Chain A
């Protein structure tokens, strides 16, 4: 192939991606920034200014909701890691070749139905007249049904369930690449289970852990359906605030500012996480 032909094929291969990024990600975001910097002074009259961002800082409800969303997302990420790691380890290292495919498939199946259906599934299980509560009444452990729905715990359970797959997949693919000989060598040199886990497996799996955590954290912080449907009278979620600004209050300007703040805040959290764990995007997300 001549150089020109090579170049052309590169451009052609790259074009869909570039168009996608430009038209669907970059352009709308520029529009959002422009929108968020408009202040409404009177009907149909707008001025340039940072008023929407200042409003956010002046109103404790807003940044409290943002902090709440962030801390609950971190909790969900941690739980997903705690539950997902043993599963991933079992699939990648312990299960037989044939069982591995089947197990992986079983993790995937819940993702074949939409978020909404999964949330309704949890509602049917957790509500006061739902499956779990009815079972408890039937067994005589309580007289009246117990309400498991409409609280933060329900939101966290629902979210962990939704995002855990995005933790398991990168973990399996990194752990898969680790030779069994490394673990054997660890034991041969006198390491206990804990030492092998701490000194060999976790450091090796670190790129997968970081990649999984980033994806699950971003997905959780940006989720809307699960917190709305499972959450109770006190569970505000930041995406709900954005929806309210855009739809209920017709305040697109401050909705756009909120959207940007969420993006900035989660990005900073991820950056901090990378710094603290001594990883970089290049050797984690890009590698898995």
Chain B
């Protein structure tokens, strides 16, 4: 009897020992293409006791997932910089960062400051920048040479040949095209509602022109490459990928300024592997890893000289679309104050439900 108990005990300890000895797990919650296999392999070689597990998601779903568990289940998340403040205020899903553990020196100061101002609550910083990119327009310059601003997507000359994504970005872009500054209106929600109503009228009238709303990068690429549409709202990274395949398709920063997002690093409130998370953050900020990462994401790393670390083909695509003036004209997404999400959501529903076109 005693022997058996001993045996069972021995067996279970070896099993246990094997499990705990093999690794700490780093559970990443990030965007598709933000954790290329090449980098994961390299990371696991350098830190053999860390296993990396990746879950791909997007801003809204990241927050929904973390909210459902109160910030458990993942050790590092990568929402955009405007999705930190309100989410933390409302649901408390992130942990303050220990900045001494992060090589903030290598980060580009503009982006670091932009994220810090957006992601500081009660003096604690909840996020640091990783990659940045813009949302703007793309067009096939042989078929739609005149596309310059957001409102050109609604130009009747291109009826049935343009597309956009029915999310908050197009609301903001349209507001800018109308000569307004939606981010300034955030401080007075009544004024913002009035602006949203006017934007909605514009976009409802626009439904006659556009072909369909795209849902993700894949259906947008398919429509653009097949020539079914000639101009669209787009993420710059998607446009760069298409530029590889068809040099006539270029990214166009709108004249009112491309809208700029910064994807960040944030640690979920109940993350269990903070050390591994910091290791990952510092690891992907190393110059050679930045190039691998940017090659996969198509976005520019928020490190000093990030644009120079792009792979060659991407560098060409960026040069073809951005001038110095365009870069100075970038509009960073402002923090979304509580309540605005709801107002914008309602406006989007109104646009979708309207039978204008």
Contact = CB atoms under 8 A, between A and B. Distances in A.
- In the complex, which of the residues A43, A234, A247, A248 has the most CB atoms of chain B within 10 Å of its own CB atom? A248
Given A43-B90, A127-B228, A150-B212, A247 B61 contact: yes
B270 interface: no
Nearest to B353: A61
A193 interface: no
A64 interface: yes
Interface in B311-357: 338, 341-342, 345-346, 348-350, 352-357
A150 B338 contact: no
Given A248-B167, A250-B90, A234 B357 contact: yes
B226 A129 contact: yes
Nearest to B344: A249
Interface residues of B, number: 36
A250 B63 contact: yes
A64 B341 contact: no
Nearest to A246: B64
Given A61-B353, A129-B227, A234-B355, A249 B210 contact: no
A244 B63 contact: no
A173 interface: no
A251 B92 CA distance: 16
Interface residues of A, number: 28
A260 to B, nearest CB: 19
A278 to B, nearest CB: 37
B338 A43 contact: yes
B228 A129 contact: yes
Nearest to B342: A249
Contacts, number: 73
Given A233-B357, A236-B353, A249 B341 contact: yes
Interface string B53-80: 0000000110110010000000000000
B43 interface: no
Interface in B263-284: none
Nearest to A151: B212
A128 interface: yes
A248 B341 CA distance: 8
Contacts of A249: 341-342, 345
Interface string A41-79: 001100000000000000101001100000000000000
A196 B51 CA distance: 69
A273 interface: no
B349 A241 contact: yes
Interface in A205-227: none
A228 interface: yes
A39 B211 CA distance: 38
A150 B346 CA distance: 22
Interface string B238-266: 00000000000000000000000000000
B213 interface: yes
B160 interface: yes
A233 B345 contact: no
A184 interface: no
Contacts of A65: 353
A186 interface: no
- In the complex, which of the residues A61, A245, A252 has the most CB atoms of chain B within 10 Å of its own CB atom? A61
B207 interface: yes
B345 A248 contact: yes
Interface string B76-95: 00000000000101111000
Contacts of A191: none
B12 interface: no
Contact of A228 (B90, B92, B215): B215
8 interchain residue pairs of minimum CB distance? A249-B345, A129-B226, A150-B212, A61-B353, A247-B60, A43-B90, A128-B228, A236-B353
Interface of B: 60-61, 63-64, 67, 87, 89-92, 160, 167, 207, 210-213, 215, 222, 226-228, 338, 341-342, 345-346, 348-350, 352-357
13 contacts: A44-B92, A59-B346, A64-B353, A150-B212, A228-B215, A233-B352, A234-B353, A248-B60, A248-B167, A249-B342, A250-B60, A251-B342, A251-B345
